[in-house]
Structure 1
Amino acid sequence: MKIDLLLENAFVFNVFRKTFEKKNIAIANEKFYYVSEASLRELEPTEILDVEGKFIVPGFIDIHMHIESSMIPPSIFSGVALSYGITTVVADSHEIANVFGQAGIEAFMQEKTDLDIFYAIPSSVPSTTPELETTGGLIGLNEVASLLEHPKVIALGEAMNFKGITDEPNSLIRQILKKVQELKPLMPLEGHIPRVSGETLAKFMHAGLTADHTQQTPESILEKVSSGVFLELQKKSITPENIQTVVDYDLYEHIAIITDDIMADDLLKGHLDENVRLAVACGMPVEEAIYTTTYTPARRMGLQDRGAIASGFLADFIILDDLETIGIDSVYKKGRCVHQREDKIVYPLTKPKFPDYFYDSIHCKPLTNKDLEIHVDGNQDSVTCNVIQIQEIGTFTEHVQREIPVINGILDWENSGLSLIMVMERYGKNGNIGYGLIEHSLKEKGAVATTWAHDHHNLMVMGTSIEDILLAQHKILDLKGGYVVSKNGELSASCPLPIGGILSDENVYTLGNQLKNVRQAMVDLGYRNTNEIMSFSTLSLPVSPQLKITDFGMMDVHTHALVPLIEGKE
């Protein structure tokens, strides 16, 4: 047997025993051939690599993530992910599906990448129903049946329609779940189960959902794992108290470390590897952190050919020069070196090319002063308004009420200490505009606008002055999508996203710095959150508690009831 590559004197991670062992590794035909303490030079290797003092671990596997959150298409994302040791991902591309439907998903799957990208069928496009949010595309039963035939599809993406799952047996999401269970009974079904417990949790599981990736607490971890839920821990769930719970109760078989969403500026610093480091810093043994980023995610998704360094498995691996810090020396995909430390990230030789209409997808009117006048019936000095209150940690919000002055029959929101928020339908379907008020957002005179608004991706603008809202919204239209920040009547930052209003074909360095400037401009306006951009962009996500906004208006996430801006007004 002639082999392609021999790695000698390595400390090899054995996932089955969760230990490092001094071994030699033979690789042939893109797979691990033999792992042994004995010399393997008699196998006549084409190449020999001495890795004395280094550690070799399987390539990282991210089983719950959204490529679109990085704001780059798969062909560009591939090189970035590989540079951080990620060799396989399972992408739920519900963002591009909300904009372009099945055509968006198929455009992604057609892109050529060195990274192995499998797909989870977006199960909630839209995240609720077309009567509560307008999207560019829909994923229904016919689309699901068609996508199930694609070889890259290995899971059903996160089911998010809370009311449809728990209280409506004939809802589209329940029909989709039933269809998948009939056609692919062994396929993993992913859930979006925030702040859910007791009988309501049982309803999610009874519908077939067996995993959750949302923000956890020690109590939710114990309840969900004890109930049979597989937990996928993203950054906001990797806290000292949560990790201590995992350690104390030895829950490693029931969890995987994932990313969910990594935005373009954060992608300059790391990806799944950063969450591995965070888990270790929070108290998880490094061996368990590697185990839950390689073997448990592979098992969860039925990927039998990866996640371990063993004969017959794909030769996807990372060479580490420092174990505790996950210091990456080099990354190998199918036995071929695809990244070495200090390398610049390799991008495709040509920019990705999508259909022309992908680059011209923002179809809504420029705002005028009249659109920002909120009229109040009757002769009142003030009215009680329903308000979305932002939290400084995470993306959950609270529903509060505030008394707002009325001047000459018009709500004086500019002097209320709150921000006005508007969601404008951008697909040219109905011209809807939803209005709301936000507390704990912008403290200075300015505005933020985006077309990257989870998950419907309509045009959303929030501000404290008419002048800045108009400036930001008009600039977004000029850019054909993206992020814009204005302050005191002047543009302060922008990040163009012309592909569907959610993606750029720039390299990650350029894009990341553009987004970094947007983030800083938001901070300069007084926005405070552990992830300012994600906090803003999820104000429009009507499946993440508690009060959010779509182009139909503000909505209670659990009941799906529309909440009027002015209390008592229909």
Structure 2
Amino acid sequence: MKVDLLIQNGWVYRTYRQCFEQADIAIVGEKFYDISPASCYEADSVVDAKGKYIIPGLIDIHMHIESSMTFPGEFSAAVLPFGVTTVVADPHEIANVFGLEGIKSFLSQETKLDIFYGIPSCVPSTSPELETSGGIIGEAEVMELLQDDRVLCLGEVMNDTDLLSGEDTLIKRIVALCKKDGRNLRIEGHCPALTKEELAAFIGSGVDADHTQQTPESVLEKTDMGMFLELQKKSLTPEVVQAVVANNLYENIALVTDDTMPDHLANGHLNKILSLAVECGMPIEKAIYCGTLTPARRMGLHDRGMIAPGKLADFAIYDNLTNFDPVSVYKNGIQYTKEANIEKAAFPDYFYQSVKCRLALPSDFNLNRCEIEEGTAIVNVMQVQSFGTRIRHVKREIPVKGGSLRWQEAGLCLAVVYERYGKTGDVAYGLVEHGFKLKGAVATTWSHDSHNLLVLGNSVNDMVLAQNQIVHMQGGYVTASDSKVTSSAALPVGGILWDGSLTTLSKELSGVRRQIEVMGYENSNVIMSISTLTLLVSPELKLSDKGLFDVRTKRKVPLVESYNPS
């Protein structure tokens, strides 16, 4: 028999045995036809892969295209060269800005990468009473999205308070709709703080996966309860990987990216997560298994995830597996060659005019409405950690002079959120502690999940300058120091996306990252750390346009706890 393509002499990954074996791969059309040692097929095209490794295309089942701040076509061209051939994207960022129309704008874009979708389950992440978003996903929107075959799951359920309450809540009704769907949709979760009875109730409701930051203890507790874990970068520590290895939990684990910033995407995607897992102690063959077959099974993608007859011919060839950088990638049996020019994404005109808040004034950043003229105040503070996005809730005593909170004298930064959709005009305040001093200001509309306009800084002049520049740019990131703008990255599509070249965006965001670090902000991912100060579902204390909220209870927290007059 004559086949279309024959890959000879390579070390082929045998999925069920999780090992490599020298074999030839015969491909007909889009699918694998045969995998056998020393095959005798004639072929239209023959590739000699002697000494090279061949593994299935990588599958990322928990990620957000918007975290790369680009559009599906540009994202496709970015990740395919890294051996990533399938993703399941949760478009809840674009949904928070534009609702169903935002999701449809992604669904309408054709890509060489196979992009499946999850239905955003929590838009906004909590409720309109706690935060203002541009769009809302309710039952009607879920019903419409369920008609699309590209929808494979309900995206991460974050509002555990409403899910576990005794009331009839929107998230309960959305979960019920998805459970009734005849395709056995998976229901993904987000539960960093749940344990014991609450975790059991969360899983019992049908939400049986989690992608948030894990510990060795949470890995065992969650998998013992039947939960599927999706390990991203911040979970891949030697201790967590040892818990997986020691307990042989590979069937319950997938490796995922979740969020990949554009300046990081230029250097790798899911392949770097596999490499990190190996560095932390996971055997190479197991890491490949958790980056190919287990994610495919989780999402019911039974036509891919392994090199076997009848499966889609998605695979990559490697000189070595030390860094998982492929020398060639095949999608549907055809070698991928990077497109010379990606057309700009076609978005509606109104997507470019979504930042509708007023320009900031210096008076916005003077907290001069204290109940006393002189003394001290006990304030609730968001304490940034050096690793990850978890924020601790701490209380601090700071001076009050002339009726104003002297947050700068106390060594704190001020975070201010402006409602940016033109709905309420609300402005809310929070104080931030980080063990170092941020000298200047950062402003952004890429603030999880409602994407209102966030300003963080310790200089009033710089905060005004950064906020004003963001409004004029119609979204993005801006840093300011010594009364001048020091860097910027424009995100004019909904304030969260760039519609041009990833290369351009990567350079601009890299400049923003450097400036934030130069100003003294320290974190394992400075951009994500700042952008999640507004994420009301990530522990412990966060800020929205409605004020400060305790993440666990969803109760509003006053900026000032008490006053002590002098």
* TM norm structure 2: 0.97
Aligned pairs, number: 562
Q: What's the offset of the Cα at 1:151?
A: 1.4
In structure 1, how many angstroms separate the alpha carbons of the residues matched to 2:357 and 2:476?
14
Structure 1 equivalent of residue 250 of structure 2: 252
* Aligned CA distance change for structure 1 residues 158 and 66 (closer, same or farther; 3 Å): same
Structure 1 equivalent of residue 529 of structure 2: 535
Q: What's the offset of the Cα at 1:323?
A: 2.3
Residue pairs, 1:23-422, within 5 angstroms: 23-41=23-41, 44-184=42-182, 186-339=184-337, 345-346=338-339, 348-374=341-367, 375-422=369-416
What SS class does the counterpart of residue 4 from structure 1 fall into? strand
Task: Give the one of 474, 478, 483 matched to 1:480.
Answer: 474
Structure 1 equivalent of residue 487 of structure 2: 493
Q: What's the offset of the Cα at 1:509?
A: 1.7
Unaligned runs of at least 5 residues, structure 1: 340-344
In structure 2, how many angstroms separate the alpha carbons of the residues matched to 1:268 and 1:80?
7
Matched letter for residue 39 of structure 2:
S
Matched letter for residue 198 of structure 1:
K
On the 8 A contact 1:24/1:40 being kept in 2, the answer is no
Q: Does 1:454 align with 2:452?
A: no
Matched letter for residue 390 of structure 2:
F
Structure 1 equivalent of residue 5 of structure 2: 5
The answer to which of 485-494 and 251-260 deviates more is 485-494
Structure 2 equivalent of residue 563 of structure 1: 557
Matched letter for residue 135 of structure 1:
S
On the 8 A contact 1:25/1:32 being kept in 2, the answer is yes
Deviation per residue, 1:50-101 (Å, 9 max, x gap): 1111111000000000000000000100010101110000000100000000
Deviation per residue, 1:181-233 (Å, 9 max, x gap): 12246111000010221001011111110100000000000110111000000
Deviation per residue, 1:378-433 (Å, 9 max, x gap): 33322111111110011111111112222211222232210110111100101111
Matched letter for residue 275 of structure 2:
R
In structure 1, how many angstroms separate the alpha carbons of the residues matched to 2:350 and 2:435?
34
Structure 2 equivalent of residue 342 of structure 1: none
Matched letter for residue 366 of structure 2:
E
The answer to which of 401-410 and 120-129 deviates more is 401-410
Task: Give the one of 510, 513, 523 matched to 2:517.
Answer: 523
Deviation per residue, 1:280-313 (Å, 9 max, x gap): 1111110000000000000000001000000000
Matched letter for residue 89 of structure 1:
V
On the 8 A contact 1:286/1:324 being kept in 2, the answer is no
The answer to which of 536-545 and 436-445 deviates more is 436-445
Structure 1 equivalent of residue 544 of structure 2: 550
* Aligned CA distance change for structure 1 residues 173 and 57 (closer, same or farther; 3 Å): same
Q: What's the offset of the Cα at 1:506?
A: 2.5
* TM norm structure 1: 0.97
Unaligned runs of at least 5 residues, structure 2: none
Matched letter for residue 29 of structure 2:
N
What SS class does the counterpart of residue 319 from structure 2 fall into? strand
The answer to which of 271-280 and 439-448 deviates more is 439-448
In structure 2, how many angstroms separate the alpha carbons of the residues matched to 1:441 and 1:494?
25
On the 8 A contact 1:82/1:331 being kept in 2, the answer is yes
On the 8 A contact 2:470/2:478 being kept in 1, the answer is yes
Deviation per residue, 1:482-526 (Å, 9 max, x gap): 000111111111111001100002322211111111111111111
Q: What's the offset of the Cα at 1:21?
A: 1.2
In structure 2, how many angstroms separate the alpha carbons of the residues matched to 1:388 and 1:184?
44
Matched letter for residue 528 of structure 1:
E
What SS class does the counterpart of residue 294 from structure 1 fall into? helix
Deviation per residue, 1:445-468 (Å, 9 max, x gap): 310000000000000001101101
The answer to which of 369-378 and 150-159 deviates more is 369-378
In structure 2, how many angstroms separate the alpha carbons of the residues matched to 1:562 and 1:433?
15
On the 8 A contact 1:4/1:46 being kept in 2, the answer is yes
Matched letter for residue 172 of structure 1:
L
What SS class does the counterpart of residue 131 from structure 2 fall into? coil
In structure 2, how many angstroms separate the alpha carbons of the residues matched to 1:383 and 1:291?
55
In structure 2, how many angstroms separate the alpha carbons of the residues matched to 1:403 and 1:392?
23
Matched letter for residue 360 of structure 1:
Q
What SS class does the counterpart of residue 509 from structure 1 fall into? helix
In structure 2, how many angstroms separate the alpha carbons of the residues matched to 1:366 and 1:270?
38
On the 8 A contact 1:441/1:526 being kept in 2, the answer is no
In structure 1, how many angstroms separate the alpha carbons of the residues matched to 2:14 and 2:93?
37
Name the Cα RMSD after superposition.
1.3
Q: Does 1:439 align with 2:437?
A: no
In structure 1, how many angstroms separate the alpha carbons of the residues matched to 2:356 and 2:130?
19
Overall identity of the aligned pairs, in %:
51
In structure 2, how many angstroms separate the alpha carbons of the residues matched to 1:132 and 1:328?
45
In structure 2, how many angstroms separate the alpha carbons of the residues matched to 1:441 and 1:3?
63
Matched letter for residue 172 of structure 2:
R
Matched letter for residue 71 of structure 1:
M
What SS class does the counterpart of residue 295 from structure 1 fall into? helix
In structure 2, how many angstroms separate the alpha carbons of the residues matched to 1:264 and 1:168?
41
On the 8 A contact 2:548/2:557 being kept in 1, the answer is yes
Q: Does 1:503 align with 2:501?
A: no
Matched letter for residue 536 of structure 1:
I
Matched letter for residue 492 of structure 1:
T
What SS class does the counterpart of residue 387 from structure 2 fall into? coil
In structure 2, how many angstroms separate the alpha carbons of the residues matched to 1:483 and 1:442?
21
In structure 2, how many angstroms separate the alpha carbons of the residues matched to 1:444 and 1:189?
40
On the 8 A contact 2:82/2:325 being kept in 1, the answer is no
Matched letter for residue 488 of structure 1:
D
* Aligned CA distance change for structure 1 residues 194 and 552 (closer, same or farther; 3 Å): same
What SS class does the counterpart of residue 408 from structure 2 fall into? helix
In structure 1, how many angstroms separate the alpha carbons of the residues matched to 2:164 and 2:340?
44
On the 8 A contact 1:121/1:157 being kept in 2, the answer is yes
On the 8 A contact 1:276/1:289 being kept in 2, the answer is yes
Matched letter for residue 548 of structure 2:
M
The answer to which of 188-197 and 442-451 deviates more is 442-451
